[in-house]
Amino acid sequence: MAVSKSSSGKQQNDRDQEYHKKSEPLIPGLPDEIAELCLLHLPYPYQSLARSVCCSWNRTITDPGFLLSRRSLSLSLPYLFVFAFHNSTARIQWQAFDPRSGRWFILPPMPCPKSVFPPGFACTSIPRQGQLYVLGGMRSDTQTSINTTVVYTTSTNQWSIASPMVTPRSFFAAGNVNGKIIAVGGSGAEYNDSITSVECYDTRKETWEHVAKMRVGLARYDSAVVGSKLYVTEGWTWPFLFSPRGSIYDLENDTWQEMKDGMKEGWTGVSVVVGDRLFVISEYGDCPMKVYVPDRDAWQYVGGDKFPREAMQRPFAVSGVEGRIYVVSSGLNVAIGTPIEGQNAALIAKWEVVAAPKGFHDFSPLSCQVLYA
């Protein structure tokens, strides 16, 4: 079949343009090796924004080798990603906090149904891969649970839809255990339909599968990952008539066991893990901080500075990284606590507060996750 001269000329022109795009320098006047180093050192979130500058920058920044180079050079730094909702409108919003500069960055809108009940979601992350997972949730118009898996990636500053969970669920616990995402319990397809099913997401295969069930569903969920185990408890709930229940999931053996009495009785607030130590910010009185002592199956109050209760109003969302504890309060103020060993190996803490912008005044936090970006 004969090819017209005009068609052949157009194909040649397209090839010439593509060659020109590939051959143009990243930064005029600099060798591409030096220019790529400049792009590597762009901080979050400006790398993703720089992709729109030109085709050569976009091609370089989206190349898998670029991300590998950034990781090998240890250029990624920890940021706090806060999931919050507006108290009056229930509008949800994700924002990232840079603990070094105190600056906030608003993330692109998360894809989800318009009518959702914000507390129904469960969130977790794989920090070193720069990935944030938002799971399940509840539609506020039908009061039915959903099974979506939404993923945010820091390297692209974009959201994507991953494989849905096997079971629709809301008001449940989720955690990252050795790079696998575990979703535990919650409410099923219908509101107040308590479920005990548990499923695991393999990030490499991008598939969900059922694992060992919980022995009993819980009234509410708080969770923490220590080592290769996921600790799940309902904590104390008003009017405090019944002792809280708690269980521990062992990923390696795919088994559940009862939580020790001392651990579940003293789990009186939101939890955070720093190193291999489990802390709780109590949700009563002056919100004292406690640390769990496994050998004694007991909680020990942390001394030093008192938690800055005057600047921090409940509800709290909390996370920890690099030896520090970050507590986000209503209005998105951030309290940064540094636990250190004092005399007789007793832990003490030092606290400082970073006030949020006034525009966050009407927002309440739901989750706080650490990602490296």
- Cα 109 from Cα 107, distance rounded (Å): 6
In a domain, 13, yes or no: no
Low-confidence winner among 6-15, 28-37, 167-176, 318-327 (lowest mean pLDDT): 6-15
Do you know the residue count of the chain? 373
Beta strand 131-135 pairing with 122-126 = antiparallel
Q: Which of 75, 98, 131 is the last residue of a domain?
A: 75
The predicted pLDDT at position 220 comes to: 77
- pLDDT tens digit string along 187-215? 987 666 789 999 999 999 999 999 999 98
Over the chain, what is the mean pLDDT? 89
**Three-class secondary structure of residue 186 per DSSP:** coil
Residue 63 CB contacts under 8 Å (≥ 6 apart), including other chains: none
Supply the CATH number for residue 136's domain: 2.120.10.80
- pLDDT tens digit string along 17-45? 444 445 688 999 899 999 999 998 888 88
Question: What distance separates the 2 farthest-apart alpha carbons in the chain?
Answer: 89
Same domain, 70 and 83: no
Q: Could you count the other beta carbons within 10 Å of the beta carbon of residue 346?
A: 13
When divided into structural domains, the chain yields a total of 2
Structure-token pair, residue 28: 């005029």
- pLDDT tens digit string along 152-165? 999 889 999 999 99
- Cα 361 from Cα 150, distance rounded (Å): 27
Average pLDDT over residues 172-189: 94
The predicted pLDDT at position 71 comes to: 77
In a domain, 350, yes or no: yes
Same domain, 116 and 139: yes
Same domain, 97 and 38: no
Residue 52 lies in domain? 29-75
Percent of the chain scored above 70 by pLDDT?
A: 91
- pLDDT tens digit string along 78-112? 999 999 999 999 999 999 999 999 999 999 999 99
Indicate whether 6 pLDDT > 80. no
- Whether the CA torsion 164, 165, 169, 172 is positive or negative: it is negative
- pLDDT tens digit string along 246-296? 999 999 999 999 999 999 999 999 999 999 999 999 988 899 999 999 999
The predicted pLDDT at position 305 comes to: 94
Q: Which of 47, 75, 103 is the last residue of a domain?
A: 75
Residue 220 CB contacts under 8 Å (≥ 6 apart), including other chains: 171, 234, 235, 237
Same domain, 117 and 227: yes
Of residues 225 and 42, more confidence is placed in 225
In a domain, 192, yes or no: yes
Same domain, 69 and 149: no
Of residues 68 and 183, more confidence is placed in 183
Indicate whether 14 pLDDT > 60. no
Does residue 333 contact residue 90 with C-beta atoms inside 8 Å? Answer: no
How wide is the angle at C-alpha 224 spanned by C-alphas 268 and 104, nearest 5°?
Answer: 95
Of residues 253 and 240, more confidence is placed in 253
The predicted pLDDT at position 68 comes to: 82
In a domain, 14, yes or no: no
In a domain, 180, yes or no: yes
Number of helical H runs and strand E runs in the chain: 6, 25
The predicted pLDDT at position 11 comes to: 53
The predicted pLDDT at position 290 comes to: 96
Indicate whether 141 pLDDT > 60. yes
The predicted pLDDT at position 258 comes to: 95
In a domain, 7, yes or no: no
Same domain, 60 and 86: no
Same domain, 95 and 45: no
Indicate whether 336 pLDDT > 80. yes
The predicted pLDDT at position 238 comes to: 54
Same domain, 119 and 59: no
What band does 70 get if pLDDT is binned at 50, 70 and 90? confident
Does the N-terminal peptide bond of residue 28 adopt cis geometry, omega within 30 degrees of 0? Answer: no
In a domain, 12, yes or no: no
Same domain, 62 and 93: no
**Three-class secondary structure of residue 356 per DSSP:** coil
Same domain, 189 and 49: no
In a domain, 110, yes or no: yes
State which amino acid sits at residue 134.
V
Same domain, 53 and 200: no
The predicted pLDDT at position 145 comes to: 95
Same domain, 94 and 120: yes
The reported pTM is: 0.88
Indicate whether 129 pLDDT > 60. yes
